[in-house]
Chain A
C-alpha cells in the first residue's frame, strides 16, 4: 500500500485535472466552442469571445455558470450568444448580483420575495446549515428593468463622490449601474436594439443600397427623390449610429491589408462604413448570419457560418487566432481551479500522515503537491505567453505567483526533511493563494493591459518577481510557524525532532526571505531611480516592502542574540504574516501612490479577519508550556 496508494491518488487527480483539456468533454456543442474561439479586440487586447463572456460574467455575478429560469445551466459561451443574438432570453437570466440591502429595497426586493423555498427536507436542512443559499443574490435584467430610472438617479448622486468616500450603498449603486450599462452595451454589440431579423434587414439593405443612397443624395441636394427610400436609409443610418456608441467590444477585424490594431472597430462603426464603400461589411454579415441561425435553432447552419468565418480570419490573423484558441482551451481547462482542489487534498493527506499510515499518506501528499505545482507552472507559463510579459503584472498574478513560489520552496523542504510538513504548508498556502486569486479575478479580465508607468518587461521580470518571491517566503515561514503552534498546542504529534526540524525550516526560510525581499525592494529602488531619478520615495508599497525586510532582519537578530527560542521565533514568524499581508493588500487599500492599482473593498474585511486570526495564534502560542498537549509531561 505504501507505493500503490500514492500512485493511485496522484493518477486519479491527474485524470480529473486533465479531462478539461480534451474536446468533446465539454458541456456545450463544438460549434459553440468554435464561436467562443473567435478573436475580438476588447479592453486593449485581442482575445477570444469566450474570455469576454467569462470575465463579463465574473464581474456581473461573481461566477461563470449561468442558470436559466427553467433550471437549465448555460455555459458562458451560450450565455454570450443569447445576450448578443437572443437578448429577450438573456434578459430573463439571473446574472446581476445585488447584496446591499438598501439597494435591494430600491429595486423592490425584501427578505420575503428573495427567500428560496426548498421542497425536499434534506435541502431545507442544508439551507439551515448554510450549505445551500437561503436567499436569491442574483436578479435578471427583466426584474431590474422597471427600476432603471431610480437606479440612474441614485447613480448620478453617488458618482461624483470620491470612490474612497462612498458609502456602501453608493458603491453598490455605482457598481450595479456600471454592470447594467455594460450589459446593455453588450446586448447591442452585434445587432441593434429590438431587431427580430437583423440578417434579413442587412440583406435588404444590400439590395437597395445604391437606390437608397441616391435618394438621400437627391434629398440633400433638394432635387426630386423617392421620400420613402431616403427616409428608410436615414433610419438605418441612425440605427447603426446607435450601435456604434458605447460598445467596447471591437468585434470587426481590420480590412484585408490593414495590420493596424487600432483599425479593429465595433459592428456599428463597420456598418456606418456601408454608405461610403457601397457594401455591407462581410464580417458583420457573418455575425448576423450566426445570430439568425442561433435564434432559429439551426445548429447545422450555425456551425457552418462559424467555421467559414473562423477560417477566413485564420488566413489573415493566423497568430491571433492561434492565441485565441489556446486561451479558450486555457479558460475551459480551468487549471487553477483543479490546482486548488489538489492542494486541498494534499493538505489532508499530509495531516493524515501525522495520525495514520505515515508513509503512504506522506507520499500521496507529496505527489499531489508536485502535480498541483506542475499544473500551476503550466498555467502561469501559458498566461505569460498569452500576455508576452513576466509572471507578475497585477494583484491577481501576484497571488498566483506567491502560491507558486511558496509551493516550490515547500517541495524542497519536503525533499530534505520528509516529514510531510512541507506538503502540509504547500497545501495550505497553495489553496489560500488560489482562493485569493479567484476572488481577485472578479474584478474583470486578469490579462489586462499594463499602464504606461509599469510598462517595462525588464523591471517587471526582475523587481516584481524577486520581491514577490520575498513575500512568498515570508508567508511560508509564517505558515510553518502556524503548523508548529497548532500541532504543538492541540495535538501530541509535535515531538522534539519535529519541533527542531520546524525551527530550522523557519530559520532557513526567514534567511531566504530576508535576501529576496531585500534584493527585490532594492531593485524597485533602482527601477525608480532609472525611470524617475529618485531611489526611494516613501510610496506606501515601497514602505510595505521595507517593513518586510526590517521585520525579517529583526527576527534574525532576535534569534542570533538569543532573545527568542523556538516559540518566540514562531511568534515572530506568524507576525510576519501580518506584515506581509499589509504590504500585499493593505497598502493598496490606502488608494494613494504609484502602486495603488488594485483597491478592493471586500478585501478589507478579509485582511482584518486574517490579522485577527494571526494575533489569536500568537496568543495561543504564548500559553504556558503545560497547556501545550505535545509538551505536557
Chain B
C-alpha cells in the first residue's frame, strides 16, 4: 500500500480523530446553544448543524470559522465505519462496542435523513372551522387563482424563493408570465395617506397603489415571522397587465379580470393540501384553580375522511397528538382569546430510525459495561 494511503487509513481509523471530533462537536453544540438567544432555534440549526462550515460575519465578509454539523457528523461517520472495518475481529469481548457503534451509525444517518425529509407546518383553526390544508410557519407562496368557476378554483402556487430570485414563471395554466420585481424578505405596510414621504410605488394595479411598503430587518426569533412584500408584474402576449403589490400582510386576495376569466392574486403562507379535512369542534384551555398556570390545552376535532367513511372524533391535547396518514398533529398554541387553536403538523417518514438506533446503542452499552463489571467482580473474588 502506498505510504500516502497508509497515512490516510491510520488517520481515519484512529481514536485520536474520534476524540478530536467529539471535542469539536461539544464546542459546536455549546456555541449553538448560546447563539439561540440571538438567532432563535431555527436559524441556529441552519447555521450550525445543517451546514458544512460555520461562517462568522465581519461586515460584508463571511469568514469560515468552524466545521459545521455535516462536516463533524460526516467525519465521525467515516471514522466509525473505517475503524469498524479495520479493527473488526470476531469475539465476545467487544460485542457491546460493536452493537453500540452500529446503533450510532444508524442514528447519525437517521438524523441526516430526517433533517432532509422532515417538514413542519401549522394548522390554525377557529372553533367550527374546517380546513383540508396546513400552512408553513416560515415560507410563503404566491398563489394565482383562476376563480371563474364558482365550484372549483384553479391554483398556480409559486414559492417565495422564486420571487426572491426574480425568476420569471411561465405556466401552461396561466395566459400570462409572472415577472417578479422588487422583493423585501421582511416588511411593514402603511396606507399612503398616512405616509406622505414614502417613495413612489412600482405597483400600478390593485391595493398596492395606495399602500407604502417599508423593508424591515429579517427576524429569526421563534415567535416572530417574516412578512415579505414583493412587486409582481403580469405580462401577457399583448403587453403588461400591470404590477401588483403582494404580501401576506394584505390578507385578502386582489381580484382582476383577464382574457375573459376572473383571477385572484395573493401571497399567503405556503400550503400543503391533504385528501382529508379537519374541523375544530371545541378548544379548551384549563388552568389550575386559583392560578393562571395552564393545566391542559385540548382541541376536540373531527377528522373528515375522503372516501365517505364515518368521520372520527379525536381529542388532541398536550402529550397526546393525532397521527394520521404520516402526519402528526399536536397542540402547539392558541390565539384569539381561546377561540383559535393552532396545531403543529409534522411529516417525518424517518421517525422510526432513532428508536431502533437508540435501542441498539443502549443495548450495546449495557452489554459492554456488564462484561466489564463481571470481569471486575471475578477478579476481586479471585483475590
Q: A residues bordering B, Cβ < 8 Å?
A: 41-45, 248, 250, 261-262, 264, 416, 448-449, 451-453, 455-456, 459, 504, 508, 511-512, 514-515, 518-519, 522, 525-527, 529-540, 543-544, 546-547, 550-551, 553-554, 557-558, 560-561, 563, 579, 582, 587, 590-593
The CA of A557 and the CA of B15, in the complex, are separated in Å by: 7
Given contacts A452-B295, A452-B318, A519-B362, contact A531 B330 (CB under 8 A): yes
* B window 331-383: CB within 8 A of A: 344, 346, 348, 351, 354-355, 358, 361-362, 365-366, 369, 372-373, 376, 380
Which of A248, A519, A543, A550 has most chain B Cβ within 10 Å? Answer: A543
Contacts A/B (CB < 8 Å), 13 sampled: A44-B293, A451-B294, A452-B295, A518-B361, A522-B361, A530-B319, A532-B321, A534-B120, A535-B351, A544-B33, A554-B23, A557-B18, A593-B36
The reply to whether A563 and B295 contact each other, CB–CB distance below 8 Å, is no
Q: Report chain B residues within 8 Å CB of A530.
A: 319, 321
Closest chain-B Cβ to A503's Cβ sits at a distance in Å of 13
The reply to whether A535 and B23 contact each other, CB–CB distance below 8 Å, is no
Q: Report chain A residues within 8 Å CB of B289.
A: 41, 44, 250, 261-262, 264
The reply to whether A557 and B22 contact each other, CB–CB distance below 8 Å, is yes
Q: Nearest 8 CB-CB pairs, A to B? A: A44-B288, A533-B328, A533-B346, A561-B15, A522-B358, A554-B22, A44-B291, A452-B294
What 14 new A-B contacts, CB under 8 Å, besides A532-B321, A543-B29?
A44-B291, A250-B289, A449-B288, A451-B293, A455-B295, A508-B373, A514-B365, A518-B361, A519-B362, A530-B321, A537-B41, A543-B32, A550-B25, A550-B29
Q: Report chain A residues within 8 Å CB of B19.
A: 554, 557-558, 561, 563
Q: Report chain B residues within 8 Å CB of A45.
A: 288
The reply to whether B291 and A248 contact each other, CB–CB distance below 8 Å, is yes
Given contacts A451-B294, A531-B330, contact A593 B41 (CB under 8 A): yes
Q: Report chain B residues within 8 Å CB of A532.
A: 321, 328, 330, 344, 346
Given contacts A44-B293, A554-B19, contact A534 B26 (CB under 8 A): no
Q: Report chain A residues within 8 Å CB of B32.
A: 538, 543
Q: Report chain A residues within 8 Å CB of B348.
A: 533-535
The reply to whether A43 and B290 contact each other, CB–CB distance below 8 Å, is yes
The residue on A at minimum CB distance from B298 is: A452
Closest chain-A Cβ to B271's Cβ sits at a distance in Å of 19
| Contact with B45, one of A455, A538, A547 (Cβ below 8 angstroms) | A538
* B window 278-302: CB within 8 A of A: 287-291, 293-297
| Contact with B369, one of A451, A515, A579 (Cβ below 8 angstroms) | A515
Q: Report chain A residues within 8 Å CB of B296.
A: 452, 455
| Contact with A550, one of B15, B16, B22, B365 (Cβ below 8 angstroms) | B22
Q: Report chain A residues within 8 Å CB of B15.
A: 557, 560-561, 563
The residue on A at minimum CB distance from B292 is: A44
Given contacts A449-B288, A449-B291, contact A540 B16 (CB under 8 A): no
Counting chain B residues whose Cβ lies within 8 A of the other chain, the interface size class is 35 or more
The CA of A218 and the CA of B354, in the complex, are separated in Å by: 75
Q: Report chain B residues within 8 Å CB of A543.
A: 29-30, 32-33
Which of B45, B120, B319 has most chain A Cβ within 10 Å? Answer: B319
The reply to whether B344 and A533 contact each other, CB–CB distance below 8 Å, is yes
The CA of A410 and the CA of B321, in the complex, are separated in Å by: 41
The reply to whether B372 and A511 contact each other, CB–CB distance below 8 Å, is yes
Q: Report chain A residues within 8 Å CB of B297.
A: 452
The residue on B at minimum CB distance from A594 is: B41
Closest chain-B Cβ to A611's Cβ sits at a distance in Å of 13
Q: Report chain A residues within 8 Å CB of B330.
A: 531-533
The residue on B at minimum CB distance from A536 is: B111
Given contacts A515-B369, A532-B330, A593-B41, contact A551 B33 (CB under 8 A): no
The residue on B at minimum CB distance from A263 is: B289
Given contacts A459-B319, A531-B321, contact A539 B41 (CB under 8 A): yes
The CA of A543 and the CA of B35, in the complex, are separated in Å by: 12
The reply to whether B41 and A43 contact each other, CB–CB distance below 8 Å, is no
Given contacts A515-B365, A540-B36, A593-B41, contact A550 B114 (CB under 8 A): no
Closest chain-A Cβ to B341's Cβ sits at a distance in Å of 14
The reply to whether A590 and B37 contact each other, CB–CB distance below 8 Å, is yes
Closest chain-B Cβ to A367's Cβ sits at a distance in Å of 24
Q: Report chain B residues within 8 Å CB of A248.
A: 290-291
The residue on A at minimum CB distance from B22 is: A554
Q: Report chain A residues within 8 Å CB of B49.
A: 538
The reply to whether B318 and A590 contact each other, CB–CB distance below 8 Å, is no
The residue on A at minimum CB distance from B355 is: A526
The residue on B at minimum CB distance from A558 is: B19
Which of B32, B318, B372 has most chain A Cβ within 10 Å? Answer: B318
The CA of A522 and the CA of B106, in the complex, are separated in Å by: 14
Asked if B245 CB lies within 8 Å of chain A CBs, one says: no
Q: Report chain A residues within 8 Å CB of B319.
A: 453, 455-456, 459, 527, 530-531
The reply to whether A587 and B33 contact each other, CB–CB distance below 8 Å, is yes
Which of A43, A508, A512, A536 has most chain B Cβ within 10 Å? Answer: A536
The reply to whether A531 and B372 contact each other, CB–CB distance below 8 Å, is no
The reply to whether A250 and B33 contact each other, CB–CB distance below 8 Å, is no
Q: Report chain B residues within 8 Å CB of A508.
A: 372-373, 376
| Contact with A538, one of B16, B41, B358, B361 (Cβ below 8 angstroms) | B41
| Contact with A453, one of B41, B318, B346 (Cβ below 8 angstroms) | B318
Q: Report chain A residues within 8 Å CB of B344.
A: 532-533
The residue on A at minimum CB distance from B365 is: A515
The reply to whether B346 and A534 contact each other, CB–CB distance below 8 Å, is yes
* B window 110-125: CB within 8 A of A: 111, 114, 118, 120
| Contact with B26, one of A250, A529, A550 (Cβ below 8 angstroms) | A550
Which of B16, B34, B118, B365 has most chain A Cβ within 10 Å? Answer: B365
* B window 185-221: CB within 8 A of A: none
Asked if B44 CB lies within 8 Å of chain A CBs, one says: yes
Closest chain-A Cβ to B72's Cβ sits at a distance in Å of 11
Closest chain-B Cβ to A173's Cβ sits at a distance in Å of 22
Closest chain-A Cβ to B248's Cβ sits at a distance in Å of 25
The CA of A582 and the CA of B222, in the complex, are separated in Å by: 23
Asked if B320 CB lies within 8 Å of chain A CBs, one says: yes
Closest chain-B Cβ to A229's Cβ sits at a distance in Å of 35
Which of B25, B120, B293 has most chain A Cβ within 10 Å? Answer: B293
The reply to whether A449 and B295 contact each other, CB–CB distance below 8 Å, is yes
